[in-house]
Amino acid sequence: MTRSLSIQSATRARSASWSISFRQSSAILTLAAFTSVAGVGSARADLVDEFLAGLRQRGWHDTALEYLDQADQDPIASASFRKNIDYERAVTQSALARQSPNERLRTEALLAAASTFQQFAQSAPDSPLQIQSLASAGNVFSELALYANNKAEKLPASANAQRKELYDSARKHLERARAPLTTLKEQCIAKLQALPKAAEAQKARSSLGNRQQLEGKLAEAKFLLAKLDFEKARTYSSESKAGKKVLQSAAKAFSKLYEEYEDKLVGFYGRFYQGRSYQVAGDIEKALECYLDIVDQPPIPNRDFRRLVARTHRYRAECHATGKNLDQVIKECSEWLQESSNQELAEPDWLAVSYQLAAAYEAKAEAASGKDAQRQRAEARKLFREIAKYPGEFQRDAKAKIAAGGSSRDKPVLVRNFAEAFDAGKESLEQMNSAKLAAKLARENNPDSVESLTEQALVEQAAAAGYFRQASRLADSTTDRDQLATARYYLCWLYWEAGRLDEAAVLGEFLARRYPENKYAPVAAKLALASYERLYNAAKQAGEPASFEAQQLAAVAELLVLRWPDSDEAKAGLNLLISIALRDNRLADAEQLLTRLPASSRAGAELRLGGALWTRYLRAANGAGEVGQLKPKAGKLLASGFEAIKAKPQVTAGEVTGVLYLAQFLLAVGEAGQAVDTLENSSVGPLSLVNAQSPVASRPEFVQETYKAALRAYLSTTPPQREKAQAMMTALEAAIGNDGNAEQKLISIYVSLGLQLQQQIRSLSADGQAEKARAVADSFADLLTRVTERAGAASSWKVQNWIAQTNLQLGQGLSGADAQRYFKQAADTYRALITKAEQNPKFAPSPVSLLAAKKQLADCQLSQGDFSAAFQQYALMLKSKPNMLELQQAAAAALQQWGTAEEESQRLEEAIRGAMPQSNRKNLVWGWIRISQIADQAKRKAAKKAGSDPKQKKRAEKYQDLFFEARLHAAEARFAAAKLANGADRTKQLNTARQSLDSMKRLYPDLGGQKWRQAYLDLIKQLGQEK
Amino acid sequence: MNPWQLPTTRFATLLATIACVAFLSASSALGLDRIRDRNGVTSGKITKMSALSVTITRGGVDTKKPVEDIVSITFDDEPEDLAPARRAAERGRYQDAIDRLGEIDRGDVDRKEIQQEIDYLECLCTAQLALAGQGSLDRAEGKISKFLSSNSRSYRVPETIELRGNVLLAKQDYDGARAQYAKLGKAPAPYFKARSALLTGRSLQAEGDHQQAAAAFDSALDAAKGNAAAESQQLEATLLGAVSQAALGDVEQSTETIKQIIEQSGSEDTQLLAQAYNALGDCHLQAGNAKAAKLAFLHVDLLFRSATAEHARALYELSRLWNDLGQGDRARDAKQRLKEEYPGSRWANR
């Protein structure tokens, strides 16, 4: 185990050593070798620089970027600052990128920053920041290469393909870096040559300063170019030809640098990297020679130089260790550490030397025995303990080494007072953590030891709990109250870790209530909350009562909110309570809890609650009463939640679902434009996230519902966005797939959408918004076409009938050529339906369905102006169903329209008195008079039966309605006939019509009530005006 | 009592004392008093002092300096800690100034004007700290009252009256504050007419009466017109006028005006710049542009912290804006700094 850990440590150490970053080293060069170089742009020390520096110092690079986007609006931004905005933007972009935890986004942002640096350098050749910009571009690309190389080296041995990809990427970045750095070098040389000679420059201080700056940058460029090869070598195996070649090239370049800048820090760095190049290439002797030139220098109190010496000691130690010269490692490292200050010993470069020394002691101990081995182990352990104290490259390894060395206590510690118990508990806690870490690391390198390390962690965990329990018992009035609370907190955490939820919950709550001033109190409350939640869930799952746990949850959450209202723990508590309330369908409670969350933390809960109200509203059979209140409430919460999460960098799946609910809500209230905006919102819009294949928007149901909502929104906006709607249909079809009943599912979605759109067209038409209605109808037609094209659609009576009916209704809602197009489509579909039903009697669901289709075909023909065909169709149906009042009405209306449109008085007469006499001398088509008589009789009959029977009463009303309608149409037809006639015939017809209406007025003074009265009065007026 | 019209008898007595003390100091140390005003430094012996002017004599020639022109006076033989205390107060480091004043042994100070100067600086620093929420307003008011009642001939009287008005304003005693500002307006110099109108406008603004406030700022501008001493107040009056105009709905124009003021101000004019950036933040808030407002208030937080009252206000606005913009940790940071740095400020306790 020790061996494998050593190997791993060595690998880690090597990878970290590579990561002495370009930024670090270039900063060292810039600051130390040529101190005046840092002064670039220092003349711009105005307020705006100070402002920007302040934002950066706080790490608010996002705000700095926001500021730079509108800096030209800032009255204190000087003209010179405005010229450099792009440079400052690049600096900020790169700093912001480095803050990103997401590797892909970080890489993209760094590339963008490098590109901005390059653009600036190109567009501002005379700017004092131009050369800095080139250096920065080179550094950013190099940094990306470093990321890739470091990542590749951490991959498991088997991940060859991934490693190759990373190395390829690193090489690409290094090549990218070469261009700006080469330009930087060339520009520095050119600018230096253009400067006045040194003697003349002496006279002008500014010229001298400029020369120093340029010389500094030139040295930096040369160093960074040499380092590109050194980094490139990492992407090849050190044994490979390519690897050797680039290492040779790097060594040569660094050697040149050393010669050129022999007495300067940059020269020593050249020598150091020359040594590193030899070391990596396996030429240990040459490497040691290079390193000696650095460590053999007389003591120089320069901090940067001392760091370089420390770093050099580390690699010298590595070289000696490779040659098994452990005594030399111990000698050199010990001497160096002894002559270093305490402050230096805590610095990373010194910790690396300590680690080498510890590893050397450990290796010596392996080979030794007895007291020597014991002493060396103790030395190693002491050093590892020291290293483990400081975060950095070696902390993990040092902790693992400590754990791998086993517990330092073979026997339990006998504790006599609180302090001893507390210290023993903490020691065990640390041992437990180290063992856990070691187990984690061993999973990759030494699987055999995982079990024992895990076991060790458990033993230490139990021991720690025991000590802290003792500490609690041993506490007395002299015990520090805060330390006692801390001991109890550790115990609480250990209970939680061990799954002892009851104890963790009780102890956590106790701490939160009794020791609110202790720094762990809110965390303890959170542990209590989490424990009660698990207990609550367990009880629910087991079907047991969970009211106690629910009460405790509420109490702890209350406590959190009361004591630490601004803490994340309080928010977590309230959110948990809201979730439980929603799960239990206690919406009012959830609403109440929501108001207690700080406004800035409500977004998620608002979306969840809004979503719950919305789904409850949708499930409700009707929207009346209390349920009716759900809709506006849901909308308000969803909208508020949406506004708040817009600014969040990342959203959860639950929050995005809430946003989708908001889009659905907006569609339901007719705000299609807003629904589109919501769905397309670049950061949290469900459609944007689905398109970006975001993991939070990947559930198939979510994807389908998003496409449905988007489709409806695109079809319903003014004007409709037909291309986007088409794209949504394609996406929806792809999302639903083609297995099982996918086809029917899709058709059903389209039909349901169609019904919603029809409703919208009707509303628009009723509001007199014909243009808008037509626009929606056009986009609706796309949907119809799509449905028609579906393979399963042709075989479905229901779908075909819906298509036909929808076309007919669309035509009825429009006029002129627009209408005719839809009537024709409707008629064609009905004809196809009827033909198919006649060929296959089982196709139509029932004879009545077929009859209805035929009637609607005739309606279409009538609407198309094909009166003859329409009438023939009605008559044909009447032959089998002569008493069907609906058909008689349609036939009479057809005759009336026919007569009026084509000025055929015969047809008008037939509309009034009937047509097509049969063998029994009765007309097959009754005409309006006969219809009115039949309706009157039926009305009287029903009225007689009505009494308290509401059905009969309704029936009587229906027939009465028909009676007035038929009499009105009869009078209208008579009036139309009169207008076609001349002379006496005309007078006679007019009189007949007048008499008929007079008689109606006399007999029925209200003229059929609200529905018919106005129509009658209008007709009477028209007749009165006719001479 | 009108501080500009003191009883003749008392006036004469005070002058006599000064002349006597001045004479004694001059003869003993051969030093000189130095008046720093907008035009430079004048040395000599102060022979007369009132709330309106200071007369300095050299070689038998009297020079009368109007109070509004005077920046500061260094007195002959003043304690060595007085000058650093004065400088600290001028730079807004009020606690440092108080500490320095505490070093002075009052028993060694015979000259009345020096005692007045020490008392005034104590008043000023105590009040400014209280105004920034770092002390008690009542205590500050007490000190100011005491100063005014016993030093009515000090050239510091006008500044102290203004200070008293400011303390009352901070206590939301708007009428009381205006009564003090009105006293300033009774002085004959256009400078004080303008100052009085400007401060009155500020109190009306604080009370929410922007219509009246705008009118008062217009009066201030009228009064300042053509008067060299008063002209320095034009920027402030224009700025405050823009704030009220914005509150009355003319946000766009006000924003432009404020930006122009910022452009015209020198970077050392911290107080005015802080006020202007807070005003700019207000305009952006009214226009519903929270992000731009945040950047404006951030200018005050990062650049003009020495304008303590404005800084407290900016921190308050930032704590709200960061919250609204979903940056809870930054909101907490602003809130915490507000509470730590200005515990007694009305912004910290909102």
Minimal Cα–Cα distance from B187 to chain A, Å? 36
Place of tokens 């009052």: B106
pLDDT value at position A66?
92
CA nearest to A74 within chain B: B259
Most A CBs within 10 A among B289, B298, B322, B333, hence the mutation to make, goes to B298
- Neighboring chain A residues of B307 at a CB cutoff of 8 Å: none
Give the residue on B whose Cα is nearest the Cα of A649.
B326
Confidence of residue A660 (pLDDT cuts 50, 70, 90): very high
pLDDT digit string (tens) for A29-69?
433 333 322 333 333 247 888 899 999 998 899 999 999 99
When CB atoms are compared, the residue of A47, A63, A644 closest to B326 is A644
Residue type for position A670: G
Query: Cis (ω within 30 of 0) for the bond into A847?
Result: no
What value does the CA radius of gyration of chain A take, rounded to a whole number of Å?
44
Give the pLDDT confidence score for residue A208 in this predicted structure: 60
Mean of pLDDT over chain A: 83
Q: Given an 8 Å threshold on Cβ–Cβ distance, is A70 in contact with B295?
A: yes
User: Is the model's pLDDT at B1 over the cut of 50?
Assistant: no
Given a cut of 70, whether residue B221 has pLDDT beyond it is yes
Report the b/e string of B90-118 with b at 16+ CB within 10 A. eebbbebbbebbeebeeeebebbbbbbbb
Residues in Cβ contact with A518 at an 8 Å cutoff, skipping those fewer than 6 apart: A482, A485, A486, A489, A511, A524
Distance from CA of B196 to the nearest CA of A (A): 29
| A97-104: average pLDDT | 79
Q: Report how far residue A367's alpha carbon sits from residue A326's, in angstroms, rounded to the nearest whole number.
A: 11
Q: Which two tokens stand for residue A1025?
A: 């005006």
Residues ≥6 apart with Cβ < 8 Å to A627: A616, A617, A620
If one counts every other C-beta atom within 10 angstroms of the C-beta of residue B164, the result is 25
Residue of A50, A63, A70 with shortest CB distance to B303: A50
DSSP A32: I
C-beta separation of A350 from A337 below 8 A: yes
Q: What is the pLDDT of residue B166?
A: 94
The nearest CA of chain A is from the CA of B344 a distance in Å of 21
Instruction: State the pairing for strand pair B61-66/B53-58.
Output: antiparallel
Q: Contact, A852 vs A826, CB < 8 A?
A: no
Select the more confidently predicted residue: A431 or A467.
A467
Residue A144 has, within 13 A of its CA and on its CB side, a CA count of: 29
**A401 neighbors A394 (Cβ within 8 angstroms):** no
Residue of B338 and B24 predicted with greater confidence: B338
pLDDT of residue B3: 35
The answer to whether the CB atoms of A599 and B324 lie below 8 A apart is yes
What's the confidence (pLDDT) of residue B158? 95
Q: For the purposes of burial, counting CB atoms within 10 Å of the CB of A931, is it exposed (0-12), middle (13-18) or buried (19 or more)?
A: buried
Residues A968 and A960 sit within 8 Å (Cβ to Cβ): no
B221 contacts: CB under 8 Å, gap ≥ 6? B194, B234, B237, B238, B241
Minimum mean pLDDT among A178-192, A788-802, A898-912: which range? A788-802
Gap between the Cα atoms of A810 and A777, Å rounded: 7
C-alpha A892, offset from chain centre: 62
pLDDT number for residue A44: 29
For residues A5 and A661, the model is more confident at A661
Amino acid in position B296: A
Amino acid found at B165: G
Span A791-823, pLDDT tens digits = 566 677 877 887 888 788 777 766 777 788 888
**Residue A600 to residue B323, Cβ atoms within 8 A:** yes
Helix (H, G, I), strand (E, B) or coil at A934: helix
List for chain B the helix, strand, coil content (%; round to 5): 65, 10, 25
pLDDT greater than 50 at residue B206: yes
Q: What's residue A407's pLDDT?
A: 56
Lowest-confidence range among A180-194, A730-744, A994-1008? A730-744
Q: Is residue B50 helix, strand or coil?
A: coil
Chain A CB contacts of B324 under 8 Å are: 599-600
A469-508 pLDDT, tens digit each: 889 888 888 888 888 999 999 999 999 988 889 989 999 9
pLDDT in tens, A611-628: 888 887 777 644 444 566
Nearest residue of B to residue A67 by CA position?
A: B295
Lowest mean pLDDT among A144-158, B132-146, B196-210: A144-158
Please indicate whether residue A129 or residue A516 has the higher confidence score (pLDDT).
Answer: A129
- Is residue A896 a contact partner of residue A911, using CB atoms and an 8 Å limit? yes
A601–B328 CB contact, under 8 Å: yes
pLDDT at B23: 32
Residues of B with CB below 8 A from A75's CB? 259-260, 262-263
Query: Using a CB-CB distance cutoff of 8 angstroms, which residues of chain B are in contact with residue A64?
Result: none
Distance from C-alpha of A880 to C-alpha of A871, rounded to nearest angstrom:
15
Is A305's pLDDT higher than 70? yes
Picking from A60, A66, A600, the nearest residue to B328 by CB comes out as A600
Any residues with CB less than 8 A from the CB of B287 and at least 6 apart, and which?
Answer: B251, B252, B255
The verdict on a CB contact (< 8 Å) between B303 and A599 is no
The region of weakest confidence among A179-193, A625-639, A782-796 is A782-796
Alpha carbon distance B297, B313 (integer Å): 9
Has residue A9 got a pLDDT over 50? Answer: no
Given a cut of 60, whether residue B17 has pLDDT beyond it is: no
- Cβ within 8 Å, pair A50-B302: yes
Work out the percent of chain B whose per-residue pLDDT is above 70.
Answer: 91
Q: Which of A51, A76, A599 sits opposite B262 (nearest CB)?
A: A76
Rounded mean pLDDT, A450-463: 84
At residue A17, φ and ψ (nearest 5 deg) are: -65, -35
Closest chain A CA to residue B256: A75
Average pLDDT of the residues in A837-861: 88
Task: Quote the tokens at residue A684.
Answer: 């949290």
> Which of A450 and B334 is assigned the larger pLDDT?
B334
**What does the DSSP assignment read for A235-273?**
TS-TTSHHHHHHHHHHHHHHHHHHHHTTTSHHHHHHHHH
Cβ-nearest to A54 among B263, B292, B302: B302
SS3 B54: strand
Q: Which residues of A touch B256 (CB under 8 A)?
A: none
d(CA B146, CA A948): 96
Closest CA to B187 of B221, B204, B206, B162: B162
Closest to A905 in 3D by CA, of A833, A975, A805: A975
- Kindly report the nearest CA distance between residue B321 and chain A, in angstroms: 10
User: Which residues of chain B neighbour A71 with C-beta distances below 8 Å?
Assistant: none
Closest CA to B272 of B219, B312, B232, B214: B232
pLDDT of residue A24: 43
Name the minimum distance, in Å, from the CA of B297 to any CA of chain A. Answer: 11
pLDDT-derived band at A15, boundaries 50, 70, 90: very low
Task: State pTM to two decimals.
Answer: 0.50
Q: Please tell me which residue, A630 or A726, carries the higher pLDDT value.
A: A726
Residue of A nearest to B322 (CA): A600
Amino acid, single-letter form, for residue A820: Q
> A718: number of CA atoms within 13 Å, CB side?
11
Q: Select the residue of B260, B292, B331 nearest A600 (Cβ to Cβ).
A: B331
Q: How far apart are CA A117 and CA A182, in angstroms?
A: 15
Residues in B touching A70 (Cβ below 8 Å): 292, 295
pLDDT of residue A409: 56
What tokens appear for A874 in the block? 């009605």
- The reported pLDDT for the residue numbered A2 is 31
Predicted confidence (pLDDT) at residue A26 exceeds the cutoff of 70 = no
Contacting residues of A for B330, CB less than 8 Å apart: 60
ipTM of this predicted structure:
0.74
Shortest CA gap B324–chain A (Å)? 6
Q: Chain B: residue nearest A640 by CA?
A: B324
Q: Give the model's pLDDT for residue A23.
A: 41
Give the bridge partners for B44, in sequence order: B33
What are the φ/ψ torsions at residue A850 (nearest 5 degrees)?
-65, -45
Contacts of A459 (CB under 8 A, 6+ apart): A407
Residue range A864-875: average pLDDT?
Answer: 92
CA atoms within 13 A on the CB side of A348: 11
Chain A CB contacts of B325 below 8 Å:
647
Question: Which chain A residues have a beta carbon less than 8 Å from that of B302?
Answer: 50-51, 54-55
Question: Cβ contact (<8 Å) for B292 and A70?
Answer: yes
Q: Which range scores top for mean pLDDT: A562-576, A864-878, B257-271? A: A864-878
Instruction: Compute the nearest-CA separation of A567 from chain B (Å).
Output: 10
Cβ contacts of A56 on chain B, cutoff 8 Å: none
DSSP code of A769? -
Looking at residue A809, its pLDDT comes to 76
Q: Nearest CA of chain B to the CA of A827: how many Å?
A: 56
Would you state the torsion angle of the CA atoms of residues B273, B336, A553, A500, taken in this order, to the nearest 10 degrees? 130
Classify residue A31 by its DSSP letter. Answer: I
Range scoring the smallest mean pLDDT among A635-644, A715-724, A761-770, B302-311: A761-770
| Residue labelled with tokens 């700290």 | B129
Of A47, A566, A599, the CB nearest to B332: A566
- Give the model's pLDDT for residue A209: 67
Give the pLDDT score at B119: 94
pLDDT digits (tens, 9 = 90+) for B313-349: 999 999 999 988 888 888 988 998 998 888 877 788 7
Give the A:B interface size as CB pairs under 8 Å: 53
Report DSSP state, residue A42: G
